[in-house]
């Protein structure tokens, strides 16, 4: 049995999609929006049950799951994918972030360990802050990191809790970098640049990129590690309890392409997929994000490779093309 919190969201629904492809259908989706903005993410996928995230937490706290659920899953081969969180990098309510991204995670991790379930949770590349301490997921570096925003801090808090409670050898934490791809359509301003730029270009013929405010970076030459959602979920399910290799690999790992791409290169890839000449306008960065903007990010995935993950990552150009040609231009979601 599989349990996916945030299962109707972007990465969560993509994990369900990949698990379906691998033959798994006994999947519990935990989320709060089955009938709302995220409904379409689940319409073409197979799962056994949908549980509201607050009801799920109550069941964990009270240990009140039904006997049938316990019989068919817990105590056996169970993987819990904890993807549920507030993912807004501009959220400023720290109490809200702490409740959703830290406290919920603590309850769920304890419950998973008490029930002999494989626990895989989403951390974030935002924990690395400005990159002053590099982008290595070596455990010795985790306590040193200084996130630039409160979202990153909430994720860092849980990583630290895992380390301080000696759980890094029992659970799996995944630091996702800039993931893009189908099923992110409900995310509003938190959608990837590929998604937002596609619609902007279709409407205006151009796309906007933020100006650089650091002399060492020309406009559009800021760099990020962009990874297609298909690659991100392949890296994620590698650690599933059903995988003979990955199930024996605990720890905190980076999830990224292993490359640092400029925004200009991303823009060129988008225009190329649309068969258009690039037309970029460099615009002012909003004041509320200037002091928390990452000018460079890069996922060192060497520990993931050492753990046994061997699949090659799709190139930026190929993944952008697949997303635009096969999904965005057709208004398609991930489906079987």
pLDDT for 64: 75
Q: Output 102 or 77, whichever has higher pLDDT.
A: 102
Residues in contact with 297: Cβ distance below 8 Å, sequence separation at least 6, in sequence order = 125, 128, 131, 135, 177, 178, 223, 224, 225, 260
Pair 79, 241: CB distance under 8 Å: yes
Q: Which of 59, 187, 206, 272 is catalytic?
A: 187
Please report the beta strands in the chain, taking only residues with DSSP state E, as ranges in sequence order. 2-5, 27-31, 49-52, 79-82, 118-124, 172-176, 178-180, 207-210, 223-224, 226-228, 251-255, 261-262, 280-283
The answer to whether residue 311 is catalytic is no
Q: Which of 102, 104, 151, 198 is catalytic?
A: 151
User: Is the pLDDT confidence value at 62 over 90?
Assistant: no
The answer to whether residue 187 is catalytic is yes
What is the average pLDDT value for the chain, to the nearest integer?
A: 94
pTM for the whole structure: 0.95
CA angle 288, 291, 292 (to 5 degrees): 90
User: Is the pLDDT confidence value at 70 over 60?
Assistant: no
Q: Could you say which architecture CATH assigns to the domain 2-180+225-258+298-313?
A: 3-Layer(aba) Sandwich (3.40)
pLDDT for 77: 83
User: Is the pLDDT confidence value at 23 over 60?
Assistant: yes
pLDDT for 68: 57
User: Is the pLDDT confidence value at 300 over 80?
Assistant: yes
Measured distance CA(184)–CA(195) in Å, rounded: 8
């Amino acid at each position: 049995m599989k349990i996916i919190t945030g299962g109707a969201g972007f990465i969560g629904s993509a994990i369900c999609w990949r698990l379906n492809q691998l033959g798994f259908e006994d999947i519990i989706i935990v989320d709060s929006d089955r009938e709302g903005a995220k409904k379409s993410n689940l319409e073409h996928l197979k799962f056994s049950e949908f549980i509201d995230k607050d009801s799920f937490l109550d069941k964990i706290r009270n240990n009140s799951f039904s006997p049938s659920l316990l019989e068919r899953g817990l105590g056996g081969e169970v993987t819990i994918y904890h993807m549920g969180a507030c993912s807004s990098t501009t959220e400023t309510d720290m109490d809200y972030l702490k409740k959703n991204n830290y406290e919920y995670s603590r309850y769920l991790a304890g419950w998973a360990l008490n029930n002999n379930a494989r626990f895989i949770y989403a951390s974030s590349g935002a924990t690395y802050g400005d990159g002053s301490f590099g982008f290595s997921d070596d455990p010795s570096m985790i306590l040193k990191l200084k996130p630039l925003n409160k979202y990153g801090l909430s994720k860092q808090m849980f990583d630290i809790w895992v380390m301080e409670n000696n759980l890094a050898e029992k659970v799996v934490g995944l630091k996702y970098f800039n993931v893009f791809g189908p099923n992110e359509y409900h995310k509003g301003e938190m959608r990837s640049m590929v998604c937002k730029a596609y619609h902007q270009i279709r409407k205006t013929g151009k796309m906007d990129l933020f100006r650089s405010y650091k002399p060492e970076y020309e406009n559009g030459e800021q760099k990020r590690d962009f990874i297609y959602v298909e690659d991100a979920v392949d890296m994620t399910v590698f650690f599933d309890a059903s995988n003979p290799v990955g199930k024996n690999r605990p720890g905190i790992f980076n999830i990224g392409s292993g490359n640092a791409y400029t925004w200009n290169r991303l823009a060129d890839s988008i225009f190329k997929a649309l068969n258009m000449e690039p037309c970029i306008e460099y615009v002012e960065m909003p004041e509320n994000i200037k002091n928390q903007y990452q000018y460079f990010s890069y996922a060192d995935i060497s520990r993931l490779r050492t753990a046994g993950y061997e699949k090659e990552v799709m190139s930026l150009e190929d993944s952008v093309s697949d997303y635009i040609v096969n999904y965005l231009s057709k208004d398609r979601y991930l489906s079987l």
